[in-house]
C-alpha cells in the first residue's frame, strides 16, 4: 500500500493557524459580547490602529530591550554556573539549593520583592533573567555530564589538547541541551517579563498597555497587545534559532575544510 505523503511544514502551520483562529471566531460568536471575547477581525482592526501610533513602537521597543537584556544576562550566567557545577561537586552542592528555590517560588513573589529592592524600570530585566537562569544552568550542566565517556577516553589516548576537547567533544555534547534550553526560555522570558511590567507599572511597556486596556475594558486592545507579544516572541525565537543553525553549519564547514592536527 502506497504511503500517503504528508503536507509540507509551512502548509501544516498555516492549517493549524486557520483552525485555531476559526475556533476563536466561533467562541466569540457564541459569547456574542465583544467586551468579553472580541472576534479576530475586530482585534486585527485594533492592532492596525495601534500600529499607526508612535507610542506602540516605543512600548514594544522598551519591552524588547528589557526582556532581551534579562534573557541574555541569564544565558551567559547560566552557562558559567552550569560549567562550574558540572566540574565541581562542591559548587554544585552550593548552587543547587539556590536554583531549587528560584524554580519553586512563584513569579509574583519575586516581582513584589523586587519592587522593594530595585528600580521598577529594571524589574522586567531582573525577572526575565531569574526565570531563565535555572533552565539554562540545568541544561548546560546536564549537557556536560552527558558527554560520552568513551570519547573522552579516546581524546586522552590520542593526546587531545584542552582546546581540541572543548571544540570536538564538549561543545557538540552541550549544544543540543543549550539550544533546547534557549528555545524553551524565550517564551518563558516574555511571559515573566510582561507579567512583571503589568505589576510594576513600567513606563512605556507592553505590560503597562495591557493593564490600561484591562482598566478601561478595552478587551480588543488587550487581545491586540497579546497578539503582539506572541508575534514578537515567535519572531525572536525564529531569528535566534536560525542564527544558531547558521553558526553550527559554518563550524562544521570550517572543521571539514581545515581539520585540526592531533598531537
- Greater confidence, 73 or 86? 73
What CA–CA distance (Å, rounded) separates 133 from 71? 8
| H or E element, residue 22 | helix 9-31
pLDDT at 253 over 60: no
| Domain map (residue ranges) of the chain | 43-257
pLDDT at 100 over 50: yes
Mean per-residue pLDDT, 135-140: 90
Mean per-residue pLDDT, 229-238: 85
End-to-end CA distance of the chain: 55
In tens, the pLDDT along 168-207 reads 777 777 888 888 888 888 888 888 888 888 888 877 888 8
pLDDT at 140 over 50: yes
What pLDDT sits at residue 236? 83
**DSSP-derived secondary structure for 127-192:** HHHHHHHHHHHHHHHHHHHTS-HHHHHHHHHTT--HHHHIIIIIHHHHHHHHHHHHHHHHHHHHHH
Only one residue has cell 524554580, namely 103
- Other beta carbons within 10 angstroms of residue 63's beta carbon come to 25
80 confidence band (pLDDT: 50, 70, 90)? very high
What CA–CA distance (Å, rounded) separates 183 from 242? 11
Can you count the helices (H) and strands (E) in the chain?
Answer: 11, 0
The domain 43-257 having CATH identifier 1.10.3720.10: the answer here is yes
pLDDT at 76 over 90: yes
What CA–CA distance (Å, rounded) separates 123 from 117? 9
* Residues ≥6 apart with Cβ < 8 Å to 37: 24, 27, 28, 31, 219
1 confidence band (pLDDT: 50, 70, 90)? very low
Least confident interval from 79-83, 107-111, 132-136, 257-261: 257-261
What pLDDT sits at residue 262? 43
In tens, the pLDDT along 14-56 reads 888 888 888 988 998 888 887 888 888 889 998 998 898 888 9
- Greater confidence, 72 or 159? 72
pLDDT at 154 over 70: yes
- Other beta carbons within 10 angstroms of residue 75's beta carbon come to 22
What pLDDT sits at residue 213? 86
Amino acid at each position: 500500500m502506497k504511503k500517503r505523503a504528508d503536507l509540507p511544514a509551512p502548509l501544516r502551520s498555516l492549517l493549524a493557524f486557520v483552525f485555531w483562529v476559526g475556533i476563536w471566531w466561533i467562541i466569540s460568536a457564541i459569547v456574542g459580547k465583544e467586551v468579553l471575547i472580541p472576534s479576530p477581525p475586530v482585534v486585527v482592526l485594533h492592532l492596525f490602529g495601534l500600529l499607526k501610533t508612535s507610542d506602540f513602537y516605543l512600548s514594544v521597543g522598551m519591552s524588547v530591550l528589557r526582556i532581551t537584556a534579562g534573557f541574555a544576562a541569564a544565558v551567559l550566567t547560566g552557562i558559567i554556573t552550569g560549567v562550574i557545577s558540572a566540574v565541581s561537586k562542591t559548587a554544585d552542592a552550593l548552587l543547587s539549593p539556590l536554583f531549587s528555590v528560584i524554580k519553586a517560588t512563584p513569579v509574583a513573589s519575586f516581582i513584589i520583592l523586587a519592587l522593594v529592592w530595585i528600580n521598577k524600570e529594571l524589574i522586567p530585566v531582573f525577572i526575565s533573567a531569574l526565570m531563565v537562569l535555572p533552565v539554562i544552568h540545568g541544561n548546560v550542566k546536564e549537557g556536560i555530564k552527558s558527554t560520552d565517556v568513551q570519547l573522552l577516553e579516546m581524546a586522552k589516548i590520542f593526546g587531545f589538547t584542552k582546546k581540541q576537547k572543548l571544540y570536538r567533544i564538549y561543545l557538540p555534547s552541550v549544544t543540543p541541551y543549550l539550544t533546547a534550553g534557549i528555545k524553551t526560555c524565550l517564551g518563558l522570558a516574555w511571559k515573566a517579563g510582561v507579567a512583571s511590567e503589568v505589576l510594576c507599572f513600567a513606563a512605556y511597556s507592553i505590560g503597562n498597555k495591557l493593564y490600561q486596556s484591562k482598566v478601561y475594558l478595552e478587551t480588543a486592545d488587550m487581545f491586540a497587545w497579546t497578539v503582539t507579544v506572541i508575534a514578537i516572541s515567535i519572531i525572536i525565537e525564529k531569528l535566534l534559532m536560525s542564527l544558531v543553525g547558521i553558526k553550527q553549519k559554518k563550524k562544521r564547514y570550517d572543521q571539514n575544510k581545515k581539520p585540526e592536527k592531533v598531537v
